[in-house]
Amino acid sequence: MRAPITMKGAQRLREELEQLKSVKRPKVIAAIAEAREHGDLKENAEYHAAREEQGFIEGRIKQLEGELSHAEIIDVSKLNAGSKVVFGASVTLADVETDEEKNYQIVGDLEADIKLGLIAISSPVARAMIGKLEGDSITIDAPAGQREYEIVSVSYAG
């Protein structure tokens, strides 16, 4: 099964990949070459640090290329699910006890970033919302116990 990803998420991953290939990879190759010029590699901390960084960069490049090649890119703006919560939905939740509102977009696992309000489709919060409608209540198991939220709004913007 192909992993779903939004068009925005795929673009962010492509930009990261391009940055790694065109900026970070050449920079670390130059750092390795410079460190080699300092002589004995056994006790050359700069050389070992640069080689370790090169390993991380190459690993991330392979990971991103693999993920992007196997991802199913979904144009969220073309989804027509109305007020039903499906992949790609932007959802406003209101805590039933405090009335505090939170906004989330349900995205693929590859692009999830809670700081940006992007939650993975596989997360407990997203799983609780999938299939529900505006106005429905959901219960989420939080570390402090169960929390009840109301789905205030559902939208599908690109």
What is the per-residue pLDDT across 94-151, written as a single tens digit (0 to 9) for each?
A: 999 998 999 999 999 989 999 999 999 999 999 999 999 999 999 988 788 888 999 9
For residue 152, pLDDT beyond 70: yes
How far, in Å, CA of 132 to CA of 111, rounded? 23
* pLDDT, position 40: 75
Amino acid 123: pLDDT: 92
pLDDT band at residue 39 under the 50/70/90 scheme: confident
CA distance 6 to 2: 13
Tell me the mean pLDDT in the region 59-77.
92
pLDDT above 70: residue 157: yes
Q: Which residues pair with 108 in a beta bridge?
A: none
Residue 152 and residue 102: Cα distance in Å, rounded?
10
Show the domains of the chain with their CATH numbers.
3-74 (1.10.287.180), 76-155 (3.10.50.30)
Alpha carbons 135 and 74: distance in angstroms, whole number: 26
pLDDT the model gives residue 158 = 58
